[in-house]
Amino acid sequence: GQQLNQSPQSMFIQEGEDVSMNCTSSSIFNTWLWYKQDPGEGPVLLIALYKAGELTSNGRLTAQFGITRKDSFLNISASIPSDVGIYFCAGRGGATNKLIFGTGTLLAVQP
Amino acid sequence: GAVVSQHPSWVICKSGTSVKIECRSLDFQATTMFWYRQFPKQSLMLMATSNEGSKATYEQGVEKDKFLINHASLTLSTLTVTSAHPEDSSFYICSARQDSSTEAFFGQGTRLTVV
């Protein structure tokens, strides 16, 4: 099935550092979602974006819906150990309007 | 947020047997439920979409006779993996949404191991 290109694939950072990850698609989306998945658990929705150019924050997390509607990024500021996990972007749009997931970014935070 | 619960959390079964996984929306009525499969270190891949009271819509490459989906009520959908084989071992995750104007909430997933 179709997947979004998400980068980086993994990140190993020190506590307190800022993190940035992004997703790109060849298709236009009308919705971008960002999820966090802990090991052995289902994804949890972090931020939802519905308009091109929209910039939304959720605590230390900030995400933006790209102007071209083909990309989105997620920033995490001042990372803490509990930020560890896999972050997935997901886009929805096109004829099927189905949610398509990115390839994921594994984040490791060293105290 | 809304709660979606899957049962069991993990299951081990013998090759050739069938396994049923339940997905329940605990505090809302879900008109649509989705079933995903996630292999280790990979992303979530949509298997099928089920609307309450109607037949599920399967994604290309997903065998509907092998992965039976029932969505008989607004709070329960089941996925039955029939004649399971080791290659069916995976993490199966459901999500449920109240209506098309809301985002779906995910269950905690079910780890299936076929031996």
Whether residue B101 is predicted with pLDDT greater than 60 in this model: the reply is yes
In percent, the amount of chain B with pLDDT more than 90 equals: 88
> A17 vs B102, which has greater pLDDT?
A17
CB–CB of A42 and B60 under 8 A?
no
Mean pLDDT, range B54-81, rounded to an integer: 94
What are the residues whose beta carbons fall under 8 Å from the beta carbon of B48, sequence distance 6 or more?
Answer: B34, B35, B56, B57, B58, B59, B62, B64, B67, B69
pLDDT of residue B1: 66
pLDDT of residue B25: 96
Indicate the pLDDT class of residue B53, thresholds 50, 70 and 90: confident
CA separation for the pair B31, B20 (Å, rounded): 21
Range with lowest mean pLDDT among A1-10, A43-52, A81-90, B33-42 = A1-10
3-state secondary structure chain A: CCCEEEECCEEEEECCCCEEEEEECCCCCCEEEEEEECCCCCCEEEEEECCCCCEEEECCEEEEECCCCCEEEEEECCCCHHHCEEEEEEEECCCCCCEEEECCEEEEEEC
Q: Which residues of B touch A (CB under 8 A)?
A: 1, 4, 6, 34, 42-46, 49, 59-61, 91, 93, 95, 103-109, 111
